[in-house]
Structure 1
């Protein structure tokens, strides 16, 4: 597991779902009855956020067993976890625990499909998830992306250098080589990534010293042309193909010469169903 969501975030989920107690369980008078709750994959999926769901159920008052881990590919029917405790605790943690795994598994499974498609062509290809996530869901989205074999493209604006046309508009026509030199002086340990909209722009910035040329919404043919030209003028520059690339197209972009697939596609993947069973102990 790359990092935990943290008890504060999990407590917030529980409080949002059960702010002032569980009225139904209270009125039925079953809150103290011992029970067991099991989670299982309803269909094939890559497990994700399993550890966080287990911790959430523990915070709800359950004792939890886990049968798998985030990043593991599961077959339909495979057990994920079991929780034991009073019915009130089981019902309190049920839906949020289920939603954590379902949402994260959708992202992780979509990511794994892109990773496998890219690495079938080049085992060294990387799939990088953008920061274009559902607002407020960054931590869960990143955990799921990484469980699927992806890596973060950018965690935010603070830790990476990515020069967009929207930055260059303010540079007053400064030559690309001068811009790259300024970036090198300011942060010599960071890679300079430049997003371009055409093959000619990519060649110009690579020749100026950019480490990575991010080809935004290029066709496969344009990526192939860019990669071929960079081999002549800047052989160390990497090509990153960006623009919501999915599993159906990832292999073609890697074959064309992209070393990195930059995508936001997994973040909108449909959640995958987790079957939940609750029964008296």
Structure 2
């Protein structure tokens, strides 16, 4: 995965210790050699381990072992080991631990949804929304990818997703504004969010490339899939709104192409155990 830039790593360190580590410095132990181990307290899917390693490196430590993000860890598995001066290890400790805990929580929930969905439909795609906590997108995206999903959209700048709130301002018929969108952005697919089977079928007939079904139950999703199967080209069908680990298999079995979910962002972090001691 593309690493966090050094400026972001430095900003994380500055957030926790903008003027140094008062306790470690006052105790006078900062130069003593030490070793830190990070381990999974419970089973989890690992995320952001490489960024945690770089936090320690920026603090003057040497990373001797680091498991790749995306690995499924058993309880007790050590995934990162670093050696260096106690001052550097203490400075990086809590930020590295917390970063991995939050990212791995997202990755673990993502993996569960992916596995549940693909048990019912092996080819289905799980895509996470941009509904991460503001300011955490870089880490959230890395966690989603580590969990085996993809991003539904990174933001407003790169995708065409037409909501009902957009259509409220349009006077033209759907076929006309869809054709105009495709003319203006010919390399983009046009996604439309709809809230009923009838609306989905009308916009499919008008030329939508992707139907994003908002909060429709699995049987309604199956109806849209069935009724649009004969169109050429056939629009892709995405189920969105309320998709989670408990219902992912039902939505996947309904025949949709994509499950769009925000569920991985909401839940407890994973638990990382830290052992920091003299070398």
Q: What's the TM-score once normalised by structure 1's chain length? A: 0.97
How much has 1:136 moved relative to structure 2? 0.2
Instruction: Work out the CA distance in 1 between the residues paired with 2:77 and 2:242.
Output: 31
Q: Is the 8 A contact 1:203 1:233 kept in 2?
A: no
- Between 60-69 and 258-267, the greater mean CA deviation after superposition: 60-69
Instruction: Work out the CA distance in 1 between the residues paired with 2:267 and 2:64.
Output: 28
Q: Is the 8 A contact 1:130 1:262 kept in 2?
A: yes
- Aligned residue number for residue 214 of structure 2: 216
Question: 1:236 aligns to what SS in structure 2?
Answer: coil
- Aligned residue number for residue 76 of structure 2: 77
Question: 2:229 aligns to what SS in structure 1?
Answer: helix
- Aligned residue number for residue 204 of structure 2: 206
Aligned residues: 279
Question: Equivalences for 1:150-161 in 2 at 5 Å?
Answer: 150-161=149-160
How much has 1:247 moved relative to structure 2? 1.1
Instruction: Work out the CA distance in 2 between the residues paired with 1:6 and 1:76.
Output: 30
Question: Equivalences for 1:87-126 in 2 at 5 Å?
Answer: 87-126=86-125
Runs of 4+ with >4 A deviation: none
Q: Is the 8 A contact 2:53 2:66 kept in 1?
A: no
Which of 159, 169, 177 in structure 2 is aligned with 1:179? 177
* Structure 1 unaligned spans of 5+: none
Question: Equivalences for 1:1-281 in 2 at 5 Å?
Answer: 1=1, 3-172=2-171, 174-233=172-231, 236-281=234-279
Q: Is the 8 A contact 1:165 1:195 kept in 2?
A: yes
**1:110-149 superposed Cα distances (whole Å, 9 cap, x missing partner):** 0011111111111111111111110000010000000101
**1:213-240 superposed Cα distances (whole Å, 9 cap, x missing partner):** 0000111121111111112445611110
Q: Is the 8 A contact 1:104 1:141 kept in 2?
A: yes
Instruction: Work out the CA distance in 2 between the residues paired with 1:205 and 1:176.
Output: 7
Instruction: Work out the CA distance in 2 between the residues paired with 1:135 and 1:244.
Output: 20
Instruction: Work out the CA distance in 2 between the residues paired with 1:85 and 1:17.
Output: 19
Q: Is the 8 A contact 1:207 1:234 kept in 2?
A: no
Question: 2:103 aligns to what SS in structure 1?
Answer: helix
Instruction: Work out the CA distance in 2 between the residues paired with 1:67 and 1:170.
Output: 52
